[in-house]
Amino acid sequence: AKTLRLILGDQLNLQHRWFARADKDVYYTLLEVKQEQEYVHQHVQKIMAFFAAMRNFAHQLEKAGHQVIYIKLDDDHNTHDFEKNIKRLIKEYHFERFEYQLPDEYRLDEQLRNLCLDLKIEAAAADTEHFYTSRDDLKNFFGDRKSYLMESFYRNMRVKYGIMMNDKDPIGDRWNFDAENRKKYDGKVPLPRPLVHKHNLSELKQMIDQMGVSYFGRVGEKHFEWPLSRKEALESLRYFCKNLLPHFGTYEDAMLQNHASLFHSRLSFALNTKMISPREVVSAVLAAWDQDREHISIAQVEGYVRQVIGWREFMRGVYWAQMPGYAELNYFNHKTKLPGWYWTGETKMNCLNKCINQSLDLAWAHHIQRLMVIGNFSMLMGAHPDEVDAWYLGVYIDAIQWVEITNTRGMSQFADGGIVGSKPYASSAAYINRMSDYCKHCHYDYKKKYGEGACPFNSLYWNFLDAHRDKFGKNPRMGMVYKNLNNMNPEELQRILEQAEDYLGRLEEL
Ligand code: FAD
Ligand code: SF4
């Protein structure tokens, strides 16, 4: 039957069985629609990256002999949502069958399911053939349990897929090398430059501007750095294995104000658009380790594999187990709006200034910048999780709801009350000072809890703990911090709480 197959912007998987051979009855369509630019206010680089990668993908398909109907944002016939465009194409080309790949996002999943019910032709959905796990694997693994433990999911993944295993035991006899990893950067090993892919996307940017798409963030005049094709994604993967993997784990939590990504792989956009698969990434990392055990220790490899087969697949499973209710959770009943400097970076708090400016420049930050600086502050200031989600979903190049919301609302804001993590990722300036060089260059004093120039993270941290004694006072993982809080001189605590109140009353000025 004459078939129309839809490919979404995050389904750029050239290895998919759909593309094994060209078929004269099959047409592929990729649609640049305003619907996807407007559901959340986005970074200009995120919009550009998706369009550019989609255009490259369409070109690859055509080169391989497939028939492609590509609708650009400024095409006259573009109706700017999926339903209308698809219905029009079906009519115009007399398609007899419609197929799509299962979206990773709840919103699109519903939309496409409803569309199919409405169509007068046969319709079917196919798997994306990208993830290790299916949507429901995590739900089946944990059953009715109220919280999910990443560590048990991860160990099960290692066993199930035989990754770094000696029969039933983990290679190296340990599952976790965190004790060796997560060090502050000490300058002992040189920092390699990140691999940047140079594209000139000025025409695409012009089209986005002409079409009146609203966006925020910045983009360089001449260059655009992200991998936008499978070829470039594979180059980034090779570069990572050779130059960055040897120190990935050791410095995975370190932050530097003059080096955005340290030893991180910057593969999240390529992975989330499915230009490369997690299996390819894991195989490449394991092969690199096999070839060079002298320079690459098991701690580096385990640290990386944990992110890809552990956290990434875990978050996707949590998403499908918990949506749509997850998007409404607000455990602390936080209500505050984010201050305006989240969109400009203009704050005197150096850590936030650097992490936000970096996010505005690159549409990317690494996990500790997202978690322990921006996310931590958002939670301590009592930001509404809807606001925080919208910011993260908009700003990061790799942000797609299944992986954004679980990390942001769950891991970083604890708005899910502990489904993803067993305690909130809250910290004072001590942690930020330990893991970065931000505090050295800051207007505020990381050692001071109150008074002139006191670092806001400190008073807000104790204020947060004090306000939630009922929730965490008995949490065994927070025993130490509550002991410290309980031993605090009441007058000192009073001054800290007053300082917090003062800062909360003038967030815009901080
Ligand atoms: P590396 O550090 O090199 O890690 C390798 C890969 O592991 C990543 O590419 C990613 O695919 C995977 N990974 C690592 N950590 C996680 C995690 N916590 N959850 C899922 N996958 C992970 N990642 C996204 O892809 N999209 C998001 O929208 C997103 N939002 C986040 C929001 C917050 C508050 C936090 C704390 C983390 C978020 N992450 C998100 C996870 C992580 O920050 C990014 O995947 C990572 O920074 C991407 O850079 P990288 O490719 O260099 O990662
Ligand atoms: Fe951030 Fe406080 Fe350190 Fe300044 S002193 S960089 S605000 S943690």
**Residue 37: pLDDT over 90:** no
Q: How many CB atoms lie within 10 A of CB 494?
A: 12
What is the secondary structure of 444-483 as a DSSP string? SBTT-SSSTTB-HHHHHHHHHHHHTHHHHTT-GGGHHHHH
| pTM beyond 0.90, yes or no | yes
What ipTM does the predicted assembly reach?
Answer: 0.99
Among 291, 463, 436, 294, CA closest to 365:
436
Handedness of CA 311, 317, 318, 324 (dihedral sign): positive
Q: Write down the residue that tokens 């993270």 correspond to.
A: 457
**Of ligand 2's atoms, which has the minimum distance to the CA of residue 350?**
6
Please name the residue whose Cα sits nearest to atom 5 of ligand 2: 446
pLDDT class for 70, splitting at 50, 70, 90?
A: very high
| DSSP bridge pairs for 446 | none
CA 159 vs. chain centroid, Å, equals 26
H or E element in which residue 30 lies: strand 26-31
**Once rounded to an integer, what is the mean pLDDT over residues 17-39?**
94
**Residue 147: pLDDT over 90:** no
Cα atoms in the 13 Å half-sphere on the side-chain side of 342: 22
| Cβ-based burial of 293 (10 A; exposed 0-12, middle 13-18, buried ≥19) | exposed
Cα(376) to ligand 2 centroid in Å equals: 12
**Residue 484: pLDDT over 90:** yes
Q: Where are the alpha helices (DSSP H) in 251-349?
A: 268-272, 278-291, 298-305, 313-322
**Cis peptide bond prior to 324, omega within 30° of 0:** yes
Cα(403) to ligand 1 centroid in Å equals: 8
**Once rounded to an integer, what is the mean pLDDT over residues 83-88?**
96
* Smallest-distance ligand from the CA of 251: 1
Output the pLDDT for position 179: 86
Residue 510: partners with Cβ closer than 8 Å, 6 or more residues away: 339, 341, 347, 348, 349, 456, 503
**Residue 72: pLDDT over 80:** yes
* Smallest-distance ligand from the CA of 241: 1
**Residue 222: pLDDT over 80:** no
Whether 403 is in the pocket of ligand 1, judged by its Cβ within 6 Å, is: yes
Cα(254) to ligand 2 centroid in Å equals: 15
**Of ligand 1's atoms, which has the minimum distance to the CA of residue 400?**
28
Percent of the chain topping pLDDT 90: 94
Looking at 65-192, which runs of residues are DSSP E strands? 67-71, 97-101, 122-126, 165-166, 169-170
Contact 161, 309 (CB under 8 A): yes
Whether 264 is in the pocket of ligand 1, judged by its Cβ within 6 Å, is: yes
What is d(CA 216, CA 492) in angstroms, rounded to the nearest whole number?
A: 42
pLDDT class for 400, splitting at 50, 70, 90?
A: very high
Contact 347, 377 (CB under 8 A): no
Cα(356) to ligand 2 centroid in Å equals: 13
- Structural tokens at position 464: 């947060």
Please name the residue whose Cα sits nearest to atom 13 of ligand 1: 307
Cα(274) to ligand 1 centroid in Å equals: 14
Burial readout 157-195 (b: 16 or more C-beta within 10 A, e: otherwise)? bbeeeebbeeeeebeeeeeebeebbbbbbeeeeebbebb
**Residue 38: pLDDT over 90:** no
DSSP state of 219: -
**Once rounded to an integer, what is the mean pLDDT over residues 76-90?**
94
What is d(CA 177, CA 164) in angstroms, rounded to the nearest whole number?
A: 13
Mutate to test the pocket of ligand 1, among 150, 195, 268 (most ligand atoms within 8 A of CB): 268
What is d(CA 473, CA 485) in angstroms, rounded to the nearest whole number?
A: 10
Please name the residue whose Cα sits nearest to atom 3 of ligand 2: 439
Whether 312 is in the pocket of ligand 1, judged by its Cβ within 6 Å, is: yes
**Of ligand 1's atoms, which has the minimum distance to the CA of residue 244?**
3
- Which of 195-204, 213-222, 449-458, 463-472 has the least mean pLDDT? 213-222
Backbone angles phi, psi at 295, to 5 degrees: -105, -15
CA 381 vs. chain centroid, Å, equals 22
Mutate to test the pocket of ligand 2, among 351, 368, 435, 448 (most ligand atoms within 8 A of CB): 351
* Smallest-distance ligand from the CA of 454: 2
**Residue 213: pLDDT over 90:** yes
What is d(CA 89, CA 44) in angstroms, rounded to the nearest whole number?
A: 29
* Domains defined along the chain, listed by start: 3-126 (3.40.50.620), 137-212+228-322 (1.25.40.80), 340-509 (1.10.579.10)
Output the pLDDT for position 353: 98
**Residue 463: pLDDT over 80:** yes
**Once rounded to an integer, what is the mean pLDDT over residues 223-244?**
96
Handedness of CA 147, 149, 150, 153 (dihedral sign): negative
**Of ligand 2's atoms, which has the minimum distance to the CA of residue 432?**
8
Residue 121: partners with Cβ closer than 8 Å, 6 or more residues away: 90, 95, 96, 97, 98
Classify strands 165-166 and 169-170 as parallel, antiparallel or unpaired.
antiparallel
Contact 67, 26 (CB under 8 A): yes
**Once rounded to an integer, what is the mean pLDDT over residues 291-311?**
97
Among 270, 217, 216, CA closest to 10:
270
Mutate to test the pocket of ligand 2, among 376, 441, 444, 458 (most ligand atoms within 8 A of CB): 444
Among 108, 143, 151, CA closest to 321:
143
Please name the residue whose Cα sits nearest to atom 1 of ligand 2: 351
Cα(362) to ligand 2 centroid in Å equals: 22
- Summary mean pLDDT of the chain: 96
Output the pLDDT for position 221: 74
**Residue 223: pLDDT over 80:** no
Residue 387: partners with Cβ closer than 8 Å, 6 or more residues away: 337, 338
Whether 367 is in the pocket of ligand 1, judged by its Cβ within 6 Å, is: yes
What is d(CA 77, CA 1) in angstroms, rounded to the nearest whole number?
A: 25
Classify strands 26-31 and 67-71 as parallel, antiparallel or unpaired.
parallel
Please name the residue whose Cα sits nearest to atom 15 of ligand 1: 307
Output the pLDDT for position 393: 98
**Once rounded to an integer, what is the mean pLDDT over residues 106-116?**
97
Please name the residue whose Cα sits nearest to atom 8 of ligand 2: 429
**Once rounded to an integer, what is the mean pLDDT over residues 466-494?**
94
Mutate to test the pocket of ligand 1, among 40, 274, 307, 411 (most ligand atoms within 8 A of CB): 307
DSSP state of 391: H
**Of ligand 2's atoms, which has the minimum distance to the CA of residue 433?**
3
Cα(268) to ligand 1 centroid in Å equals: 6
Whether 265 is in the pocket of ligand 1, judged by its Cβ within 6 Å, is: yes
pLDDT class for 196, splitting at 50, 70, 90?
A: very high
What is d(CA 91, CA 88) in angstroms, rounded to the nearest whole number?
A: 5
* Smallest-distance ligand from the CA of 413: 1
**Once rounded to an integer, what is the mean pLDDT over residues 157-175?**
96
What are 410-422's pLDDT values in tens digits? 999 999 999 999 9
Cα(277) to ligand 2 centroid in Å equals: 38
What are 236-291's pLDDT values in tens digits? 999 999 999 999 999 999 999 999 999 999 999 999 999 999 999 999 999 999 99
CA 362 vs. chain centroid, Å, equals 14
Please name the residue whose Cα sits nearest to atom 7 of ligand 2: 349
Among 357, 345, 372, 358, CA closest to 429:
372
**Once rounded to an integer, what is the mean pLDDT over residues 205-212?**
95
* The one-letter amino acid at 1: A
Mutate to test the pocket of ligand 2, among 378, 443, 446 (most ligand atoms within 8 A of CB): 446
Mutate to test the pocket of ligand 2, among 358, 378, 431, 439 (most ligand atoms within 8 A of CB): 439
Output the pLDDT for position 178: 87
Output the pLDDT for position 337: 98
